[in-house]
Amino acid sequence: MAIKATIYNATVQLSDIDRGVYADHPVTIARHPSETDERMLIRLLAFALNVPADNDHGALEFAKDMWEADEPGLWQKDLTGRIVHWIEVGQPDEKRLLRASARVDRVSVYSFSASTPVWWKGIAANLTRARNLTVWQIPAEQSQALAALAQRTMELQVTVQDGAIWVGDGQRSIEVAPLRLCGQQG
């Protein structure tokens, strides 16, 4: 019998001063049996950093990347159902990124492993034509610290100001400083 997903519930209290986005977002996350707390919290961080101010042009949603090979970690679809923003978590291969880049307006990657520099060095030159691609590296010690915030029910405060990101749960607060490896900000 297959192991089922574990359901996590989070409220993300977002104060993104840089983008002028302020809202509480109740989120239900189906965590794949092979997914780590670290990866799940990076998905939540990617959600917070990309959620639109309103859903007038479509909502940002968690996709089924670990269950469905043709889906990313998150995506934003416009009101017609067309994917406009494809968000990967981890270290996808260059073919996957080029395919996504050709289909959507924006592609973002949030890589968090200590091996990110090696992965990126191996594929960066092959992705120069993907002008709509932005790649972020979350330092491994910061992503591991985020993992400690994982609970079945979470209330997380995410504050973004002047490029600095703080994630807290009321008891602990972690500064996250993503390094842009490729692409334009915003």
Q: Over the stretch 14-47, which tens digit does the pLDDT of each residue have?
A: 999 999 999 999 999 999 989 999 999 999 999 9
Residues 84, 60, 141, 66: is their CA dihedral positive or negative? negative
Element (H, E) at 41: helix 37-50
Q: What's the order of all strands across the beta sheet hosting 164-168?
A: 21-31, 6-16, 153-161, 164-168, 173-176
Rounded Cα distance between 77 and 86, Å, is 9
Average pLDDT of 151-167?
96
- Collapsed DSSP state (helix, strand, coil) of residue 147: helix
Is the pLDDT confidence value at 99 over 60?
A: yes
* pTM of this structure: 0.94
Q: pLDDT at residue 152 above 80?
A: yes
Please give the structure tokens belonging to residue 46. Answer: 């990617």
Sheet holding 106-111, edge to edge: 60-62, 74-77, 83-89, 106-111, 133-137, 179-182
* Arch. (CATH architecture) of 6-182: Roll (3.10)
Which residue ranges make up each domain of the chain?
Answer: 6-182
Give the strand pairing for 153-161 and 6-16: parallel
Mean pLDDT of 157-163: 95
Q: Which pair of tokens denotes residue 169?
A: 């749960």
Task: Please count the residues of the chain.
Answer: 186
Reduced to 3 states (helix: H, G, I; strand: E, B; else coil), residue 157 is strand
